[in-house]
Amino acid sequence: MGEKPVINKGLEGIYVAETKLSYIDGENSRLYYVGYSIEDLAKYSTYEEVAFLLYYYRLPTKSEYELFKAVMRESREVPDEVLSIVRNMVRRRAHPMDILRTAVSSLSALDPEIDQRSREADIRKALRILSKAPSIIAAMYRFSRGLDYIEPRNDLDHAANLIYMMHGKKPSEFEAKVLDTIFILHAEHGMNASTFASLVTASTLADIYAAVVSGISALKGPLHGGAAEAAYWQYKEIGSPDNVEAWVKNALDKKRRIMGMGHRVYKSYDPRAKIMKELDREVASKFGGEAAQLYSIATKLEEVALRELSKRGKVTIQPNVDFYTPIAYTALGIPPELFTTIFAASRIVGWTAKVIEYVENNRLIRPLDYYIGELDKKYVPLDQR
Ligand SMILES: CC(C)(COP(=O)(O)OP(=O)(O)OC[C@H]1O[C@@H](n2cnc3c(N)ncnc32)[C@H](O)[C@@H]1OP(=O)(O)O)[C@@H](O)C(=O)NCCC(=O)NCCS
């Protein structure tokens, strides 16, 4: 056992890889994908273009972009075998993240290139998973309401098609842009827990489906992917902007966490939250109703929570991306139980791009643990215990 080593609990502060995919400057509220600021990408780009950027480390030319989008569109169909699995799991009231995980896992059985291990083959497989994930989410939405599955539409972009497959109606340009922005904001984010889970799996040279299934599994937990849904229920619990003052004081006195605030890396305002907040202002004024109500509660909550947290010396706890996404999701008719699945569907590009990057210089991820139990214990046979 030797002298007790330093235990890096939670691997905090440990670098495990080099990357050119994303850079988070947590002190200065900055996020970049391949050197491009998240603000520019959210404003000018699309999720499909961001996916290309993350796989190829550059923006596509017009013809590359069209071809890439066409490949994604052609991969949207989900085989009947997988839709049956989704239908059965919905009937059993399984958690949507478990359904997504199982559906992606079952898709591996139907991928003719499952055993091909080249960068290009991995990108092709990743694109298939990426393109089918929204169809799986829409299927969950439809089946859980006793509705029939709607086939994907090949004349719509990635985000617009998801809204269409859920509601059977082509979304407006603004609605499509709102969801596309959410997809862009969640596409990639450094070495977080689910990305690391994907990398651990991929570092054994397991296939890319296995890596994505690991990512989805890790994202399910409330400390990682589940915060937007928790933020939604928090706003519902608060009920009205008038209740915010009392609610915050009571929550902080009871050491409750404000969902959608605080971040392991951002010690200032999460730039994604800023983008979402601006978008939500427009969403609230265009849609009114529940989205506007949630927006007024969230903005008031931000103001009061920042003031009260700062009184308690906690100035680094500020809104993260999950604070403002519930408003946009609600406006788009996306129910809270599906929020995390949309995060997962967006992040598939980040998980797979990082896995593809990592295995090019692969090193099996194999940390150590320090044994603190006893040794040389006497084995007592079962009938003598
Ligand atoms: C994201 C999160 C896990 C990161 O936390 P972390 O870096 O591990 O910070 P810690 O858990 O060490 O918290 C440090 C202090 O800030 C407080 N704190 C952290 N987040 C808080 C929040 N959202 N509301 C109130 N207090 C919070 C903690 O209670 C702790 O206080 P203490 O020192 O008095 O015990 C945490 O901020 C959190 O739970 N946020 C809410 C869930 C959420 O929005 N998650 C989405 C992340 S994208």
349 pLDDT more than 80:
yes
When pLDDT is averaged across residues 83-98 and rounded to a whole number, the result is 98
pTM attached to this predicted model: 0.96
pLDDT tens string 161-171? 999 999 999 99
Active-site residue identified among 263, 369, 376, 383: 263
Burial class (CB in 10 A: 0-12, 13-18, 19+), 113: middle
When pLDDT is averaged across residues 323-342 and rounded to a whole number, the result is 98
Among 268, 314, 316, 318, the mutation site with the greatest number of ligand 1 atoms within 8 A of its Cβ is 314
Atom of ligand 1 nearest to the CA of 321: 48
We find that the CATH architecture of domain 227-331 is Orthogonal Bundle (1.10)
Q: What is the pLDDT of residue 71?
A: 97
Q: Which helix (H) or strand (E) holds 122?
A: helix 119-143
Among 261, 322, 347, the mutation site with the greatest number of ligand 1 atoms within 8 A of its Cβ is 261
Q: Whose CA is nearest to atom 34 of ligand 1?
A: 255
Q: How confident is the model at residue 2 (pLDDT cuts 50, 70, 90)?
A: confident
What percent of the chain is predicted at pLDDT more than 70?
A: 100
Among 258, 317, 322, the mutation site with the greatest number of ligand 1 atoms within 8 A of its Cβ is 317
Interval between CA 13 and ligand 1 midpoint (Å):
17
pLDDT tens string 36-54? 999 999 999 999 999 999 9
154 pLDDT more than 80:
yes
Interval between CA 263 and ligand 1 midpoint (Å):
7
When pLDDT is averaged across residues 6-34 and rounded to a whole number, the result is 95
Q: Which CATH number fits domain 22-223+335-359: 1.20.1440.130, 3.40.30.10, 3.90.950.20, 1.10.580.10?
A: 1.10.580.10
pLDDT tens string 219-263? 998 888 889 999 999 999 999 999 999 999 999 999 999 999 999
Q: Whose CA is nearest to atom 35 of ligand 1?
A: 255
Three state DSSP letters for the chain? CCCCCCCCHHHCCCCCCCCCCEEEECCCCEEEECCEEHHHHHHHCCHHHHHHHHHHCCCCCHHHHHHHHHHHHHCCCCCHHHHHHHHHHHHCCCCHHHHHHHHHHHHHHHCCCCCCCCHHHHHHHHHHHHHHHHHHHHHHHHHCCCCCCCCCCCCCCHHHHHHHHHHCCCCCHHHHHHHHHHHHHCCCCCCCHHHHHHHHHHHCCCCHHHHHHHHHHHHCCCCCCCHHHHHHHHHHHHCCHHHHHHHHHHHHHCCCCCCCECCCCCCCCCHHHHHHHHHHHHHHHHHCHHHHHHHHHHHHHHHHHHHHHHHCCCCCCCECHHHHHHHHHHHCCCCHHHHHHHHHHHHHHHHHHHHHHHHCCCCCCCCCCCCCCCCCCCCCCHHHC
Q: What is the pLDDT of residue 304?
A: 98
- Domains in the chain: boundaries: 22-223+335-359, 227-331
Interval between CA 315 and ligand 1 midpoint (Å):
12
Q: Whose CA is nearest to atom 40 of ligand 1?
A: 262
Residues with CB under 6 A from ligand 1: 223, 227, 257-264, 314, 317, 320, 322
214 pLDDT more than 80:
yes
- Is there a shared CATH topology between the 22-223+335-359 domain and the 227-331 domain? no
Q: Which helix (H) or strand (E) holds 36?
A: strand 36-37
Q: Is 263 a catalytic residue?
A: yes
Q: Whose CA is nearest to atom 24 of ligand 1?
A: 257
Q: How confident is the model at residue 264 (pLDDT cuts 50, 70, 90)?
A: confident
When pLDDT is averaged across residues 8-15 and rounded to a whole number, the result is 92
Report the mean per-residue pLDDT for the chain.
96
Q: Whose CA is nearest to atom 10 of ligand 1?
A: 264
pLDDT tens string 169-190? 999 999 999 999 999 999 999 9
Q: What SS3 state is found at 28?
A: coil
117 pLDDT more than 80:
yes
Rg of the Cα atoms in the chain: 22
Q: What is the pLDDT of residue 223?
A: 84
Convert 21-30 to b/e letters by CB count within 10 Å (16 or more is b).
bbebebeebe
Q: Is 322 a catalytic residue?
A: yes
Atom of ligand 1 nearest to the CA of 316: 16
3 pLDDT more than 90:
no
Report the Cα–Cα distance between both ends of the chain, in Å, rounded. Answer: 29
Interval between CA 157 and ligand 1 midpoint (Å):
36
When pLDDT is averaged across residues 124-148 and rounded to a whole number, the result is 98
1 pLDDT more than 80:
no
